[in-house]
Amino acid sequence: MPSNTVIQHLALGAIGLAFGFVLSRAGFADFGEIHLMFTFADLRLLLAFAGAVVIIAAVYLALGRRWQEPRAVFTRGTIPGGLLFGAGWALTGACPSVVLVQLANGHLMALATLLGILLGTAIYPAINEKYLHISSGGCGL
């Protein structure tokens, strides 16, 4: 599908609405619920996440492995980047989509998280070019 047509905007707009709705009602934007998940005190969100992966995998296999591309490529950055992101997620209760839900739910402090995420995302290419030299692989994920 071409990148910037009205149809593309309508499709991604509908997906975004549903995604924000689900994240909010499932409790993924609630810091307390996230903390309970990561300390294994309440398995509800963990099961929601794992259950979603199982359903997606079942549909993916049932449809004959369509949508193979683009796929993430393992690089030197995968594990340290993941650890860093996880640590930030535990501190803020937010991943890049959840921070928007936190804000919409009236948590003004999430503005600091959003600013941080934008800052981190914007400076990463420069950090990578100067110190890390990790090829992105261009998978667009």
Partner 1 sequence: MDFWPWWMGACGLASVTIAHFLLTGRPLGVSGSVARVLDVRRSRRADALSDAIASDPAALEAQLLAATQEAFGDVDSGATTTAASDDPQGTSTAARATPFGQRFFGNVRWSARLTLLLSIGIGALLSRLVHPSPIEVQLSLGPSFTSLVGDGTIAWAVLLVGGVMVGVGTQMAAGCSSGHGLSGCGRLVPASLIGTAAFFSGAVMVSFLLERL
Task: Fill in the DSSP letter of residue 10.
Answer: H
SS3 (DSSP) at 112: helix
Min separation Cβ 111 and partner 1, Å: 8
**58-87 binders of partner 1 (CB under 8 A):** 59-60, 65-68, 70-75, 77-87
**111-130 binders of partner 1 (CB under 8 A):** 112-125, 127-128
Min separation Cβ 18 and partner 1, Å: 5
| C-alpha span between 129 and 107 (Å, rounded) | 35
**24-53 binders of partner 1 (CB under 8 A):** 24-33, 35, 38-40, 43-45, 47-53
Cα 14 off chain centre by: 18
The rounded radius of gyration (Å) of the Cα atoms in the chain is 17
The tokens for 16 are 């975004």
Q: Are 23 and 104 in contact (CB under 8 A)?
A: no
Min separation Cβ 64 and partner 1, Å: 12
Min separation Cβ 130 and partner 1, Å: 13
Q: Are 110 and 31 in contact (CB under 8 A)?
A: no
**Using the rule CB under 8 A, which residue among 64, 130, 133, 141 binds partner 1?**
141
Min separation Cβ 99 and partner 1, Å: 7
Is residue 5 part of the contact set for partner 1 (CB under 8 A)?
yes
**Using the rule CB under 8 A, which residue among 4, 64, 130, 133 binds partner 1?**
4
- CA angle 49/55/56 to nearest 5° reads 90
